[in-house]
Amino acid sequence: MLTPSVAGAWDKTIGDITQRPGRLGAWGYWNEDGLGLLEYLLWCKDLGMEPILGVFAGLHLHNNNIIAEKDLQPFVTSAINMLEFCMGDVSTTYGKKRAALGYPEPFPITYIEIGNEDNLSGGMASYQAYRFNAFYKSIIQKYPNAVIIASTTAFSNPPDKVALDYHQYADANTLASQFNIFDHYSITHQTLVGEYSMQKGTYPNWIGAVAEAIFQLGAEKNGDKVIGMSYAPLFMNTNNYHWTPDLIAFNADSSQTTLSTSYRQIKAGSSAFWSRRPKANREPCSCYQTTASRRRCR
């Protein structure tokens, strides 16, 4: 049975790294949680980027376990506690816990996604019927200025201003053909391209990188509709991996780190953009990824 201590157990990913128990991830492989919630927040801060925080929404993708409506509230409470840990001041219960770990200043969170790919594993009906709304109502009540993102574009009749998450893994021809896909997307319900990449082979290649660039440009020309984009997955440990291709391949020998063609394409686009900006305006980026989301940069 899924419980908040097993699924969405954010509080087990903080504190002494040697005391983190680890957990079985949504896709069936083990997560040691050495890179926990605080590490992710600090990573974003170091990069000058604003995080998009996802909360577990009652669907375990690996074993098709869906939390019944009557059992969902503890998971909603856990999500609210996580947000307080990130954003609460030191007078709050979980803000005080963050401060005790050495970080008294809150981490601002604007973008909050409810779940991940909740259209999979038979999860769409329950997500539409009760799971999304249970989290949405509690989060927006406490954080009315948050941008809430539903985890799939299959979600129908979302509340006002709720954004939708579009994932696209495809061959090069399909990605290139989607240059105009966002032209008729909604401005009211913006889209986050939370995951995308060309899917063929163990490592990215130049054909795929060019196709991804065409796909990204299609999103950029619809910057009023697309919040941002994120290549996925980002990292691949060459000694133990579950998905290919990935943006950066690495192992314990840093001399063997491989920056893929997709990485080079993203960096080239980002560098060209930043070099054109006046130095006075080169502030930290407020986007999910620094290429196709760069219209979100302030």
Distance CA 247, CA 90 (A): 38
Q: Residue 59: which of 108, 12, 128, 107 has the closest Cα?
A: 128
So what's the pLDDT on residue 278? 52
pLDDT in tens, 25-40: 777 788 889 999 999 9
pTM: 0.89
Domain ranges of the chain: 10-161
Q: Are 139 and 148 in contact (CB under 8 A)?
A: yes
Instruction: Please state the separation of Cα 208 from the chain's center in Å.
Output: 22
Q: 10-161 is classed in which CATH architecture?
A: Alpha-Beta Barrel (3.20)
What pLDDT, in 10s, does the model give residues 74-115? Answer: 999 999 999 999 999 999 999 999 999 999 999 999 999 999
